[in-house]
Amino acid sequence: MSDLLPEANLRRLARTLAAITFAAFSLASGAELRVAVRPLGQVDPAVLRAAVQDLTAMYDVQVRLLPSEPMPPSAYYRPRNRYRAEKLLDSLEATTDGGYDKVLGITAQDISTSRGQWHDWGVFGLGRLSGRSCVVSTCRMGGGGASRTVLLSRLAKVVDHEFGHTLGLPHCTQRGCLMEDMRGSAAVLDACSGLLCASCQARASAFLRHDAHAPARR
């Protein structure tokens, strides 16, 4: 095998190093994290506004809403007519300027990932632990005849949950904690408090707004 990396991998490595450098600067200087929100495909503008509001209400971040990008064909999973979340993360990282510490993708399309024995498990979202990217789908949030209010409540929890993963927060075993594993279940999502437990608050304290542990916003 050659020791040389393919050009595409070199570009990806350069973007990753740039993101790490910017993140390290933000932590060292106390500056807010710079977050890009990228719509993927056609997304309800009200959903995008709510997602930005949710992020800035929970986390001490600067958020910029970027123009929409089409769903990447490379992420399409034809057998289930949906998109692989991990490939969406790859695309988000490849197409988002390195000046942003984090990028959140939002789509109305159904997304999935592998989970245990299941190769293709439908999810509300996916975030890379201590990584740069996360993605959220509203496709499953309106299930069960959910009202607009319920959908936006679910959106807030999933956005904050997946973004929490990028900050290094793993799934939490505390029932009701924002970082509890939702398991793709609307019932578990609805039972979630939308707040971090004391342990998760302590781990993420450097990134939280001072009032992020206040009662749930919705």
Active site residues: 162
Residues paired with residue 104 on neighbouring β-strands, in sequence order: 37, 134
* Tokens coding 184: 């793709």
Alpha helices in the chain (DSSP H): 7-29, 45-58, 85-95, 148-166, 186-191, 198-203
Query: For the chain, give me the number of helices (H) and strands (E)?
Result: 6, 9
176 neighbors 191 (Cβ within 8 angstroms)? yes
CA distance 88 to 77: 11
202 neighbors 186 (Cβ within 8 angstroms)? no
Q: Read off the amino acid at residue 87.
A: K
Q: Read off the amino acid at residue 167.
A: L
